[in-house]
Chains A and B, each alone.
Chain A
Amino acid sequence: MDELAIKIEHVSKQYRLGAIGGGTLRGDLQTWWARKRGKEDPNSKIGARTDIKIGERFLALDDINLEVKKGEALGIIGHNGAGKSTLLKLLSRVTAPTTGTISYNGRITSMLEVGTGFHPELTGRENIYMNGAILGLSKKEIDAKMEQIIDFSEVRQFIDTPVKRYSSGMYVKLAFSVAAHLDSEIMIMDEVLAVGDMAYQKKCLTKMREAADKEGRTVLYVSHNMNTIRQLCDRCIVLDHGKVIFNGGVEDAIAQYMGAGESSIYPVSYDFRDNKRNHHFGKQIFVNDFRFLSTDAAKFFSGDPIEMEITLDSSIQVNDARVILRIKDRGNYVKYAGSLSEPFAIFPGKKQKFRFRFDSTPLQEDDYCLSLEIVSADTVGNYHAYDNPNASISIYIFQAQNPDINWAKQYWSNLRLPNLQIIDYKQDECI
Chain B
Amino acid sequence: MEQHFTTVIVPKTGLFDFHLKEVLKYRDLIFLFVKRNFVSQYKQTILGPAWALIQPLLTTVVFTVVFGSLAGLAPGGVPSFLFFMSGNIAWAYFSGCLTSTANTFTGNAGIFGKVYFPRLVSPISTVLTNLISFGIQFLLFVVFLVIYWIKGDVQPTLYILMLPPLLLHMAMLSLGVGIIISSLTTKYRDLKMLVGFGVQLWMYGTPVAYDMGIVPEKYMGLYMLNPMTPIINCFRKAFLGLGSFDLFHYLISWGVTLVVLFIGLMMFNKVEKTFMDTV
Residues on A close to B: CB < 8 A? 1, 3-4, 7, 15, 20-21, 23-26, 28, 89-106, 108, 110, 112-113, 115-117, 119, 121-122, 126, 129-131, 133-134, 136, 138-139, 162
Residue on B nearest A129 in the bound complex, by CB = B32
The listed residue (B43, B115, B275) touching A117 by CB distance below 8 A is: B115
Q: In the complex, what residues of B have CB within 8 A of residue A101's CB?
A: 8-10
Q: Are A95 and B274 in contact (CB under 8 A)?
A: yes
Q: Are A133 and B9 in contact (CB under 8 A)?
A: no
A sample of 23 cross-chain residue pairs with beta-carbon separation below 8 angstroms, ordered by A number, consists of: A3-B3, A21-B278, A24-B189, A25-B188, A28-B187, A28-B188, A95-B275, A96-B12, A97-B9, A101-B10, A102-B8, A103-B9, A104-B6, A104-B7, A105-B5, A116-B114, A117-B113, A119-B36, A121-B43, A130-B29, A134-B116, A139-B28, A162-B43
Q: Are A104 and B273 in contact (CB under 8 A)?
A: no
Kindly provide the distance from the CB of B224 to the nearest chain A CB, expressed in whole angstroms.
30
Q: Are A96 and B114 in contact (CB under 8 A)?
A: no
Interface residues of B in 22-37 (CB under 8 A from A): 25-26, 28-29, 32-33, 36
Residue on B nearest A8 in the bound complex, by CB = B9
Q: Is the C-beta of B244 less than 8 angstroms from some C-beta in chain A?
A: no
- Once the chains are docked, how many angstroms separate the CA of A68 from the CA of B277? 26
Contact mask for chain B residues 83-95; partner A; CB cutoff 8 A; 1 contact, 0 none: 0000000000000
- Once the chains are docked, how many angstroms separate the CA of A133 from the CA of B116? 11
Q: In the complex, what residues of A have CB within 8 A of residue B5's CB?
A: 7, 103-105
The 10 closest A-B pairs by CB, nearest first: A93-B116, A103-B5, A117-B114, A117-B111, A121-B40, A96-B273, A133-B29, A25-B188, A102-B9, A95-B276
Q: In the complex, what residues of A have CB within 8 A of residue B278's CB?
A: 20-21
Q: Is the C-beta of B159 less than 8 angstroms from some C-beta in chain A?
A: no
Q: Is the C-beta of B165 less than 8 angstroms from some C-beta in chain A?
A: no
- Once the chains are docked, how many angstroms separate the CA of A133 from the CA of B29? 5
Q: Are B9 and A121 in contact (CB under 8 A)?
A: no
- Once the chains are docked, how many angstroms separate the CA of A101 from the CA of B6? 13
Interface residues of B in 105-157 (CB under 8 A from A): 110-117
Q: Are A100 and B191 in contact (CB under 8 A)?
A: no
Kindly provide the distance from the CB of A182 to the nearest chain B CB, expressed in whole angstroms.
11
- Once the chains are docked, how many angstroms separate the CA of A113 from the CA of B276? 15
**With contact pairs A92-B115, A96-B11, A121-B43 given, residues A133 and B32 touching in the complex (Cβ less than 8 Å):** yes
Q: Is the C-beta of B222 less than 8 angstroms from some C-beta in chain A?
A: no
Residue on B nearest A130 in the bound complex, by CB = B32
Q: In the complex, what residues of A have CB within 8 A of residue B28's CB?
A: 133, 138-139
Residue on B nearest A15 in the bound complex, by CB = B277
- Once the chains are docked, how many angstroms separate the CA of A92 from the CA of B274? 13
Q: Are A95 and B6 in contact (CB under 8 A)?
A: no
- Once the chains are docked, how many angstroms separate the CA of A87 from the CA of B121? 25
Kindly provide the distance from the CB of A289 to the nearest chain B CB, expressed in whole angstroms.
45
**With contact pairs A21-B187, A117-B114 given, residues A98 and B11 touching in the complex (Cβ less than 8 Å):** yes
Q: Are B188 and A24 in contact (CB under 8 A)?
A: yes
- Once the chains are docked, how many angstroms separate the CA of A28 from the CA of B186? 14
Residue on A nearest B184 in the bound complex, by CB = A25
Q: Are A20 and B187 in contact (CB under 8 A)?
A: yes
Q: Are A4 and B277 in contact (CB under 8 A)?
A: no
- Once the chains are docked, how many angstroms separate the CA of A165 from the CA of B75? 53
Kindly provide the distance from the CB of A90 to the nearest chain B CB, expressed in whole angstroms.
7
- Once the chains are docked, how many angstroms separate the CA of A98 from the CA of B32? 33
- Once the chains are docked, how many angstroms separate the CA of A121 from the CA of B187? 28
Q: Are B113 and A134 in contact (CB under 8 A)?
A: no
Q: In the complex, what residues of A have CB within 8 A of residue B277's CB?
A: 15, 20, 95
Kindly provide the distance from the CB of A318 to the nearest chain B CB, expressed in whole angstroms.
59
Q: In the complex, what residues of B have CB within 8 A of residue A24's CB?
A: 188-190
Interface residues of B in 12-58 (CB under 8 A from A): 12, 25-26, 28-29, 32-33, 36, 39-40, 43
Q: In the complex, what residues of A have CB within 8 A of residue B9's CB?
A: 90-91, 93, 96-97, 101-104
The listed residue (A105, A121, A131, A133) touching B6 by CB distance below 8 A is: A105
Kindly provide the distance from the CB of B198 to the nearest chain A CB, expressed in whole angstroms.
14
Q: Are B191 and A116 in contact (CB under 8 A)?
A: no
Q: Are B8 and A103 in contact (CB under 8 A)?
A: yes
Q: In the complex, what residues of A have CB within 8 A of residue B112's CB?
A: 94, 117
Q: Is the C-beta of B1 less than 8 angstroms from some C-beta in chain A?
A: yes
Q: Are B7 and A116 in contact (CB under 8 A)?
A: no
The listed residue (B6, B11, B117) touching A100 by CB distance below 8 A is: B11
Q: Are B188 and A119 in contact (CB under 8 A)?
A: no
Interface residues of B in 242-279 (CB under 8 A from A): 273-278
Kindly provide the distance from the CB of A126 to the nearest chain B CB, expressed in whole angstroms.
7
